[in-house]
Amino acid sequence: MSLLKIRKRPEPTVQLSDRDRRLVWRLAALLLDYPSAALLATLDDLSGAAAELPDTIRPFLEPILTHLRTGNPIALAQEYVETFDMRRRAALHLTFYAYGDTRKRGMALLRFKHAYRHGGVELGDEELPDHLPVLLEFAATVDPVGGERLLGEHVPVLELLRLSLSDNDSPYSGILAAVTATMPPLTTADRRRIAELAAEGPPDEEVGLDPFAMDPITFAGTDSRR
C-alpha cells in the first residue's frame, strides 16, 4: 500500500486559539508515550482536558482515549512497541526519516538541542532530542514559539507519520491528525518533500550517535519512558 495514495489531511474549520493549540500538543505528547500504568491511570484527566477542545479537534483524540481505556494493558504495550519501535515508517524520532542513522543526522539533532537550551531546558543523555513527544511537551509547556518553529520545520515528517499510521488503521493516527491540524496548510514544497521521503525511506548507514543522545525533558506529572 503506497503512502502516496494520500488521504486528505484534516483541517480545522476554525482557527485554534493559542491555548487550544498548546493543549493539543500537551495531550498528544502524553498519548504518544508508552502506555504505562501511570499513563493509563490519567486517562480520565486526559479525557476531561480533551473535552475542552473545539469540535473540530476533539474527535481526532477521542478514538485513542477510548482505545487506551478499554484495551488490555499488556496488549496495549505490545501494540505500542509494534507500531513505533518496529516499523521504520512510524518512528517517533523526526530526523530519522530524512537521515536515518547517518552522520548528517547528528547536526540535525543539534538543532533540537540548541532550541531546548534557548528555552532554558538542558537535556541529558538518555534520549535523542527529536523524539516527537519530547518536542510536543516542550512546545506545550516551555517555549511555544520555539517548539512551534521546530514542529513547522518538520511538517512533511509529521504528515508522513500521520499517513503511515492511517494507512495501517492505527488508533494512534488521530493524534497526528490533531497535531497536523495545528500547523499551517501543506505547501507544494511540503507535498513534494512528503513524496520524496515516502519513496526513498530513511538512509541505512549505521553510525554511533552517542555524542548527540539527550535526556527527555522532565515535566511535572509525566511518567516518561523516553
Rounded average pLDDT over 164-181: 94
Q: For residue range 36-80, what is the model confidence (pLDDT) as tens digits?
A: 999 999 999 999 999 999 999 999 999 999 999 999 999 999 999
Rounded average pLDDT over 204-211: 48
CB atoms near residue 100 (< 10 Å)? 19
What per-residue confidence (pLDDT) applies to 128? 82
Question: How much of the chain, in percent, has pLDDT values that exceed 90?
Answer: 58
Lowest mean pLDDT, pick from 5-14, 68-77, 125-134, 155-164: 5-14
- Structural domains for the chain: 18-212 (1.10.3480)
CB atoms near residue 208 (< 10 Å)? 10
What per-residue confidence (pLDDT) applies to 8? 56
CB atoms near residue 203 (< 10 Å)? 15
For residue 208, name the pLDDT band (cuts at 50, 70, 90): very low
pTM for this predicted structure: 0.82
**47-68 residues labelled b (16+ CB within 10 A) or e (exposed):** bebbeebeebbbebbebbbebb
Q: What is the mean pLDDT of the chain?
A: 84
Which candidate, 52, 81, 47, 51, places its Cα nearest to that of 67? 47
